[in-house]
Structure 1
């Protein structure tokens, strides 16, 4: 096992990414993950870790959820991938299910392989359906790293090396309605927003921001795209985070949790009126692997499991409990913690200095708890455990979190 661990690190250094290998070593994350079940990940030595990161929101059902795994195995024996020339029954089922559970009159779906692909599809549909090209997005946002998705991602460190990107993209501060009013006009094709900024640091919008953004889009004939890739499917205590704010988008993007932690799958869902432009030419936007039978079976089973097990309600109750207890820790350790915020089981702990966050992550790994910081804001450590987590497991996380905090203060002093 020791040789396998060394070989894995060597392969990272020589063939994957040497910078990533250095980061893993520095933060004490140079363990080889080997198997996982429920909320637990085991490394190659058999050491167990409680997964409080959940694949950045992917593992709503935990690792290897039995019913999703079973559905995928059954489909594997029938037909894993589509011939692309005959009708795909699991794809049709998934599209119907998405139409039923998504808010408002969202109806048609294009099923793809990832969140960034879903955003690409949403941007293309918005420009095609409106005949306009201006897109408004927000600073500090994250929508993916493929060309179009990166163009609307609000962090320069990711965009700058690849410029010029898409043209006619305008950035405004998230939550600033006045800035949106100033920027939106009749040439705007769409406004793309995360209901809650995930990689931006678990940033919640002002109470009426999304509803007023909806009104402005309607006023100027612009489409509202809501990116629910990280927030969707129960994560925030509602099936979709936009439901907290009573808002329905014209286009919705999904991924991460949709595949049940078993298959990579994303989707862009839109109204029937918008989909007319795709209906007129079905080959304008396609994917070889998107909508394959294995992924669709995983997604269908995931949607049913989330609903049948009442995980949305559970996420709300457990999230309230975790948030309240973390806020108490923030008061006790106010010398290092700036703020705790979130909805459901999507919570961010913002530190006064990003070095505290890095130290905490390393200390929690020593305590066998897996967490990470948010990609755009390294002062913020996120907690996004599987929605199947139990209250006693949250209590264990809280105990170890406080112990790690004490160690951080000791190391930083």
Structure 2
């Protein structure tokens, strides 16, 4: 009898959390149970999740951006089924694959004209690792400059470019020669590059942790500084790429041409791990400069047929369903609508972002009663107010969101790009009601806040 995944799923459906407690990261299970996110999802389609009772949830995290076209898109499912049924030769290591060539051609048609070569790997962090190696070999320099509060991945090289200390702590020593500068600070960047010993400056066009959008002149001036000092300009578009910000690539907002673009997440529709680096001809020809160096960098499962087929199908969906345009339109409407609430809600500072990469930031209010309640949460754990927002968004309004980073009062939305007008109104109404509830003291939402503060103080001890 052949293995039946459907039967396994049915027989063990209720054991999900127990299995993870026993064999995987039990702390993640504790987190989910503590904040009430321990749902048993049974089905997913597009931007929606469905639990065992059939309750519909709007997923505004989309697998941290991997499901930009929504979950289980039929076009990608069909492409994967067809690829399996064709019995194609796959990963013939003393060969090159057709599908990877086609996907490379398709991606490069979307990038700036200076980029003409592709390298495929399995994830965003692998794409950053490749960019580090390629930059060092091309420039014959060691140093890499990155931005404070950046996120580039969690393997050792990319972790060395991670601007958040909580991810780095205890994993050192990290890669030598890595230096951080403040994001959106051209003077600091020029000082770091001025010795002409920096191989690459790696930057997210919009920072994922906090959804920090640069000044309009920042990236154009970054490009000029990198050219001036012989440093390669690397755009990490792992999260911002493929329509996320209302442009196919976020760099299009500022008209810049980096020497490399790192990409992953949405590239395969969320089905198969895939990452890639687009680069100039010079970089590719420098790294792979002789026949005996043809395999100097690679990855066993990169360019596998399933990943490449998923990538081709995903690009078709993005184009045919006009998801880049939808991202720009719906995203802007969400940001504008939430900003319109700022005059009536003291806790709300602003909504910001590009396309469907959105931050809703909260800050200390002015009135004494609200200020005292805010201070109580901040004393327990900085950023706790946002947990008091995201939990009722989930429990009462069935919207899945997250805090944008450690120690910050920012809720982050990273939804599928296919949100509808109905979804937009659902989001705006849910935030309106939830933020209104935070201004009612005493109230049930502040009972939740006190419980969260208690857990935070207990964990500190």
TM-score in terms of structure 2 length: 0.86
After superposition, the Cα gap between the structure-2 partners of 1:80 and 1:309, relative to the gap in structure 1 and judged at 3 Å, is farther
- What is residue 178 of structure 2 aligned with on the other side? 169
Comparing 139-148 with 29-38, greater Cα deviation is found at 29-38
Cα RMSD of the aligned pairs, angstroms, is 1.8
In the aligned structure 2, how far is the partner of 1:318 from the partner of 1:234?
12
Q: Tell me what 2:105 maps to.
A: 96
Alignment pair present for 1:189 and 2:199: yes
- The aligned residue for residue 346 of structure 1 is 357
1:149 alignment partner in structure 2: 158
What residue in structure 2 maps to residue 110 of structure 1?
119
* Cα separation, 1, equivalents of 2:242 and 2:28: 30
Aligned mates of 2:296, 2:229 — CA distance in 1: 26
What displacement does 1:142 show? 0.1
Stretches of structure 2 that go unaligned for 5 or more consecutive residues are 1-8, 364-377, 448-461
- Conserved? CA contact 2:338–2:350, under 8 Å: no
Q: 1:351·1:379 contact (CA, 8 Å) conserved in 2?
A: yes
Q: How far 1:81 moved relative to its partner?
A: 4.0
Q: How far does residue 203 in structure 1 lie from its aligned partner after superposition?
A: 0.2
Q: What secondary structure is seen at the aligned counterpart in 2 of 1:56?
A: coil
The CA deviation string for residues 6-47 of structure 1, in whole angstroms up to 9 with x for no partner, is 522222222211211111011111112221111111123322
Partner of residue 68, structure 1: 76
Verify the 8 A CA contact 1:98 1:107 in the aligned structure 2: no
Is residue 2:331 matched to residue 1:319?
yes
Do structure 1's residue 412 and structure 2's residue 446 form an aligned pair?
yes
Secondary structure at the residue paired with 1:330?
coil
Say which SS state the counterpart of residue 196 (structure 1) adopts. Answer: coil
Asked whether the 8 Å contact 2:288–2:296 carries over to 1, the reply is no
Q: Which residue of 2 aligns with 1:40?
A: 48
The 10-residue stretch of structure 1 (376-385 or 1-10) with the greater mean CA deviation from structure 2: 1-10
> Is 1:229 aligned to residue 229 of structure 2?
no
Relative to structure 1, the CA distance from residue 212 to residue 4 in structure 2 (aligned partners, 3 Å threshold; closer, same or farther) is same
Alpha-carbon shift at residue 4 of structure 1 (Å): 5.1
1:283 counterpart = 2:270 = no
- Alignment-derived partner of residue 17 in structure 1: 25
Q: In 2, are the aligned partners of 1:136 and 1:188 still within 8 Å (CA)?
A: yes
Q: Hey, what's the Cα distance between the residues in 1 that align with 2:73 and 2:13?
A: 27
What are the Cα deviations for residues 166-213 of structure 1, in whole angstroms up to 9, with x where unaligned?
A: 001011110011111111131110100000001x20000111011111
| Alpha-carbon shift at residue 76 of structure 1 (Å) | 1.3
Kindly indicate whether the alpha-carbon contact (under 8 Å) linking 2:124 and 2:262 is maintained by their aligned counterparts in 1.
yes
Q: For 1:9 and 1:80, how far apart are their aligned partners in 2? A: 38
Which residue in the other structure is 2:400 paired with?
370
Distance in 2, matches of 1:20 and 1:156, equals 20
Is 1:386 the counterpart of 2:416 in the alignment?
yes
Q: Is the 8 A contact 1:150 1:159 kept in 2?
A: yes
Answer whether contact 2:267 2:314 (CA < 8 A) is retained.
yes
* Corresponding residue number in structure 2 for 1:52: 60
Q: Would the aligned equivalents of 1:5 and 1:31 in 2 still touch at CA under 8 Å?
A: no
- Mapped contact 1:54–1:385 kept (Cα < 8 A): yes
Deviations 1:206-226 (A, max 9, x none): 110111111010001000000
Q: Which runs of 5+ in 1 are unaligned?
A: none
Rounded Cα–Cα distance in structure 2 between residues aligned with 1:299 and 1:377 = 35
User: Whole-Å Cα distance in 1 between the matches of residues 429 and 78 of structure 2?
Assistant: 35
Partners of 1:314 and 1:27 in 2: how far apart?
32
1:304 Cα deviation from its structure 2 partner: 2.1
Residue 331 of structure 1: how far off its partner (Å): 3.1
Query: How far apart are 1:111 and its partner, in Å?
Result: 1.0
What are the equivalent positions in structure 2 for 1:111-150 lying under 5 Å apart?
111-150=120-159
Provide Cα deviations, 1:63-91, integer angstroms capped at 9, x if missing partner.
11111111111111123842222231111
Q: Which residue of 1 aligns with 2:348?
A: 337
Does the Cα contact within 8 Å between 1:49 and 1:368 map onto a contact in 2? yes
Alpha carbons 1:226, 1:251 under 8 Å: kept? yes
Which structure has the greater CA radius of gyration?
Answer: 2
Secondary structure at the counterpart of residue 170 of structure 2:
helix
Q: Take 1:65 and 1:408, find their aligned partners in 2: how far apart are those partners?
A: 37
CA distance in 2, matches of 1:80, 1:370: 40
Q: CA deviation at 1:2?
A: 11
* 1:243 corresponds to 2:252: yes
Q: Using the alignment, how far apart are the partners of 2:359 and 2:427 within structure 1?
A: 14
- Structure-1-length-normalised TM-score: 0.95
- CA separation of 1:9/1:2 partners in 2, compared to 1, >3 Å: closer, same or farther? farther
What's 1:274 paired with? 283
- Residue 304 in structure 1 maps to residue 316 in structure 2: yes
Q: CA deviation at 1:99?
A: 1.4
